[in-house]
Structure formats: C-alpha cells, structure tokens
Amino acid sequence: MSYEADVVVVGAGLAGLVATAELVDAGRRVALVDQEPAASLGGQAHWSFGGLFMVNSPEQRRLGIRDSVELAWRDWLGTAGFDRPEDYWPTEWARAYVEFAGGEKRAWLRSEGVSLFPIVQWAERGGGHADGPGNSVPRFHVTWGTGPGVLEPFLRRLSAAEDDGRVTTRYRHRVGELILDGGAVHGVRGEVLAPSTAERGAPSSRDVVGEFEIRAPAVIVAAGGIGANADLVRQNWPSWCGQPPARMLSGVPDHVDGRMLGVAEAAGGQIINPDRMWHYPEGLTNYAPVWSNHGIRLLSGPSPMWVDARGRRLPFPIYPGYDTLAAVGHIARSGHGHSWLVLNRRIASKEFALSGSEQNPDLTGRDIRGVLERRGSVMTGPVGEFLRRGADFVIRNTVSELVEGMNERTDEPLIEAGVLEREIAGRDGQFRAGLGKDAQLAAIRAARRYVGDRLVRVVPPHALLDPDAGPLVAVKLSILTRKTLGGLHTDLSARVLGESGSPVPGLYAAGEAAGFGGGGMHGYRALEGTFLGGCLFTGRVAGRAAAAAGA
C-alpha cells in the first residue's frame, strides 16, 4: 500500500497529537501513524497524573507562592547539571521551555479548554542547597481531568480533522524505515500489523499482514522512549547509579520500546545522552496489571521513614518526594533492588496517593465530592485497595511483627528487628526532644508552612510508635522504569541533527523521542510536571516548523 501526505507524524501520543493539530491549522495534509490499535490513542499521556510545570501562575499566587522565571531557571540549571559539549541545544530548549511555562503556556491551554486543580503540589523538593536540585517552590499543577484532560482538546481536534479529510490516521502501521532521497527524508516505510482487540495499554500482536509506504517531504518522530524495553534500559543504565536491579517494574506500556529511535538513527539522526533517564524508586506491583511488569508509583508525603533492604535509614536528602535520582542511585548501589517506607496509619491516611489517571478516578472524572472525601479513611478508594490487595504492603501492630511481615516479602530475611527498632527509636526520640537535629523532621515542619501541604498533604510531626496513630505500615518499593531523558538531537525548530551537527533535511522530532527537546532538556534530573509539558511544547514547535518548511 502506498500513500502520500504533506507530513507524516509517527506516534499518536500527546506530542504527535499536538504536532498534528498545528499542521492542520496550517493547512497541511497529515498522515498520523501508530503501531498500536485505536484503543491506545493518546499513548502514555492517557495514563498520567496530568501534572504540568508552570511558573508564577494565578494558582500559585492565590496560595501565597512567590515564583518567577528567574527562580525557575536557577532551579532548572541546578537540577539539570548540564556538563557535556552536546548540551548546547538541550540548554537552549530548557530555557525556552521555562519561559513558555512562565508565559503563554497556561493561557494557551485554557484556550484549548484545559483547567487546573486549585492546589499546587510541591514535587521534587530537592537536596537542601539553594543552587542544587529541586523546586524552590510548588510548581506541579494537576490538570482537572488528569492525563485524559490534557489529551481531550487535541483528540477533539484530531476527530474534526479526520472527518473533513485533513488527517488520515493509520493504526497498526509500524514504521521500519525512513525513506531517504539525496540525504533528505521523504517519507516512511513499514509493516502493517494484524488487527488487534487489545485494550488500552495491553500488549498487542506483532503479527505482520502487509507492508506500506507513505511519501511526504517531512516526517515528525514522536514515538516515545525506551521505558518498557528492559534490554535498552539496562544497556544505557547510568554508571553513576551502580548496576541496574535484577528486577524492575515498568511504568509504561509494552509499546514504549524505543524502536523509532533506532529507525531515526539509521537515517542519519544523532542520539545524545542515552544514559540520562528518569526512573522512580517508589514502584508498587500492580495487583491488576494491564501491561508487562506493570508498576504504579506511590506518591508519598515527606513523613514516612525510608529504609534500605536491611532496614537502615536512607541518608539525607533521600526523603519521599525530595531527590528521585539520588534515591534511585543509592538503592541500586546498595546491591538490592528494593527499599521500604515505614510509617503508621495516620501518615498513610493523609500522605499516600498513587500516580496515574486510573488511580485517581475523582480527579480524572472531575468529581468534586470525591476529591473532598479524600481526607477520610485511607481504606477507601485506590490507595485502600492497594493496602488490602497489594503484595507490597505489610500492616502490623508492633515493630517485631512488622519486620516478620517484611521478611516474608523478600527472597531471604534481610532485616533484623533490632536494627529497625533502633532507627525508629532514634527518629521518635528526636520528635520528643521538641527541637532536635533530625533533618527529616525539620523538612516536615518546613513543608507544613505551605498551606497546600498543611491542608491536604502533610500530617503534623509525631512519633511513629504513637499508639493512637497505628497500626504500623511498611511498603516495599521497587525501581519503576519511566522516562528517557536523552534522545534525538534537535535544534530549536525541532529539526533532527546528524553527527555533523547539521539538520537531516525533512526530519523532525518531538516529545520523549527528542529528550523532550534538544536531545535532553532535563539534563540529569527533572523538576516534574515537565514531561507532559515537554510533549506539548515540542509537539507545537515541531508542527509549526514542519508546516512552515512546506509553505
């Protein structure tokens, strides 16, 4: 089968949908291709919590948060740690994105019908130094409707464009080659996969039933990263994080396989920073998996005590929600692929949440009553279901009983009751001292100075063994693969660059495939809320640039 279009967009996730919308607005005929069935339209964004990084927003100002582009850029540089010659374009993209987040981003999304939950969350709080990693202030804006709410306007625009013939969407079309003519990209070739009835996110058949070719003077690669490809994750695992754990959970569906990165590289595109990736240390085994090794990220407030596989407290600043990369590296280097949170029921009832649209039906369904009821019993809703049915939770009345249950969930008994008892006694003694020197307790008190944390996120400091706060809870956490921070090297027009630094004519990249801009605008670390935002921003830039090039 052979077709023609003005532009081919490879990947029907958020970045591809935004690029398609921009191309249609410019009058271009678009062929949108994706290897998955229609049920997975929207890609990873559908499963997301819908967090968006914004700077100096009205939501922040209403909560008394003083933010600015200058402060956000300082935080970004301290978090990214750009230190390589190839970081020129990633740094340029990062600066452009921060200005976008502090400028037209919110107004543009509002014009598309996207609205925000009023309480801004404080994600990735950092390592304790003014110029080090982390957000100085809360910037994580949750979309009212979560990931599906972000996708909604672009899905609506796609449907309208399909109806009037401006876009042809071809599902089950797997691109295997970029067509080159005189060094320029002029379309794609690949295989037609067998029809599939797989539900959203579930593995689909890879049986081939035909071939296809689409000719076009421009191709935008927006097909995601490598998060579900365990072999590529291990191959590119960062050396500073030790050895990859023998067992890791997957935070993304099987189709996030990195295939198109190799296809674009074979056509002359350069991949940079492949060892920069973003995985989470707080993965839970999903008791109702949709994809292979399906994990869910536990979103915890700062109060639980975090210990390693042997029950020893993790060092400063490794507290829940503070420094993701430091936590992943410490756990991987420990020689064990898991760690534990130790807390009590009082903390869990207020500080535990789960990432993802399906784990937040109140926010996803825009259910105000449901959101208000979150301050009730922890044994209701998705968190309660995980507490009851999840394999990673232990609930007991005493420390010795808790340790017994923790050791039952590992291949060998690694924790001695005396070790964990000493860690808890030291922490609780610092609480009873009133002032004390425990940095985590100081961090909890500081967090409660922010009204958003005080209202919905962080409990007052108290002893873990307070009998009125029990029973005790332990949660086994595994490394959860998620995002590719490196990717195809692009300039500020989203043109893919070759090894020489010159653009590959006709080839563009957006979203995770482009490292969210430039081949890695996050550097080594992310400030959170920047992945959906990076897809929105790069998709918009790529669509406009490809349209202008064909004018």
pLDDT tens figures, 282-291: 999 999 999 9
Which residue has 């500080």 as its token pair?
Answer: 351
Would residue 259 count as lying in a domain? no
Task: State the pLDDT at residue 129.
Answer: 87
Q: How far is CA 443 from CA 126, 313, 526, in A?
A: 11, 16, 21
Residue at which a domain ends, from 432, 455, 480: 480
Whether residues 375 and 512 share a domain: the answer is: no
Separation between Cα atoms, residue 391 and residue 387, nearest integer Å: 9
Whether residues 491 and 476 share a domain: the answer is: no
Whether residues 517 and 413 share a domain: the answer is: no
Whether residues 441 and 492 share a domain: the answer is: no
Separation between Cα atoms, residue 157 and residue 99, nearest integer Å: 26
Residue at which a domain ends, from 449, 480, 511: 480
Whether residues 113 and 52 share a domain: the answer is: yes
Task: State the pLDDT at residue 378.
Answer: 53
Task: State the pLDDT at residue 377.
Answer: 55
Under a CB-based contact definition with an 8 Å cutoff, are residues 298 and 352 in contact?
Answer: yes
Whether residues 193 and 339 share a domain: the answer is: no
DSSP structure class, residue 144:
T
Model pLDDT for residues 205-239, shown as the tens digit of each residue: 999 999 999 999 999 999 999 999 999 999 999 99
DSSP structure class, residue 313:
B
Identify which of 186, 177, 182, 187 has the alpha carbon closest to the alpha carbon of residue 267.
177
3-state SS assignment for residue 201: coil
Whether residues 444 and 504 share a domain: the answer is: no
Query: Within 13 Å, how many C-alpha atoms sit on residue 28's CB side?
Result: 29
What value, to the nearest 5°, has the Cα angle with vertex 254 and ends 335 and 474? 40
Which pair of structure tokens corresponds to residue 501? Answer: 């630094």
Which pair of structure tokens corresponds to residue 526? Answer: 């992310």
My answer on whether omega of the bond before 90 falls inside 30° of 0, hence cis, is: no
Whether residues 418 and 498 share a domain: the answer is: no
Would residue 320 count as lying in a domain? yes
Residue 175: exposure state from Cβ atoms within 10 A (0-12, 13-18, ≥19): buried
Would residue 179 count as lying in a domain? yes
Would residue 266 count as lying in a domain? no
Would residue 433 count as lying in a domain? yes
Task: State the pLDDT at residue 73.
Answer: 98
Under a CB-based contact definition with an 8 Å cutoff, are residues 311 and 420 in contact?
Answer: yes
Under a CB-based contact definition with an 8 Å cutoff, are residues 100 and 537 in contact?
Answer: yes
Which pair of structure tokens corresponds to residue 532? Answer: 């959906």
Task: State the pLDDT at residue 181.
Answer: 95
Other residues' Cβ atoms within 10 Å of the Cβ of residue 422: 14
Separation between Cα atoms, residue 78 and residue 495, nearest integer Å: 27
Identify which of 380, 230, 354, 234 has the alpha carbon closest to the alpha carbon of residue 284.
354
Task: State the pLDDT at residue 482.
Answer: 96
Would residue 418 count as lying in a domain? yes
Whether residues 403 and 371 share a domain: the answer is: yes
Whether residues 385 and 400 share a domain: the answer is: yes
Whether residues 354 and 473 share a domain: the answer is: yes
Identify which of 140, 142, 135, 138 has the alpha carbon closest to the alpha carbon of residue 73.
135
- Global pTM reads 0.97
Whether residues 217 and 358 share a domain: the answer is: no
Which pair of structure tokens corresponds to residue 106? Answer: 């919110």
* CATH of residue 399: 3.90.700.10
Q: How far is CA 484 from CA 74, 205, 252, in A?
A: 23, 24, 11
Q: Which residues contact 110 (CB under 8 A, 6 or more apart)?
A: none
Number of domains in the chain: 2
My answer on whether omega of the bond before 471 falls inside 30° of 0, hence cis, is: yes
Would residue 76 count as lying in a domain? yes
Under a CB-based contact definition with an 8 Å cutoff, are residues 290 and 305 in contact?
Answer: no
Separation between Cα atoms, residue 484 and residue 31, nearest integer Å: 26
Separation between Cα atoms, residue 14 and residue 351, nearest integer Å: 30
* CATH of residue 516: 3.50.50.60
Would residue 106 count as lying in a domain? yes
Q: Are strands 219-221 and 7-10 parallel, antiparallel or unpaired?
A: parallel
3-state SS assignment for residue 311: coil
Separation between Cα atoms, residue 178 and residue 222, nearest integer Å: 14
Task: State the pLDDT at residue 370.
Answer: 84
Query: What residues make up the domain containing 539?
Result: 2-223+485-550
Residue at which a domain ends, from 480, 511, 533: 480
What value, to the nearest 5°, has the Cα angle with vertex 325 and ends 319 and 328? 80
- Residue ranges, the chain, pLDDT below 70: 375-380, 551
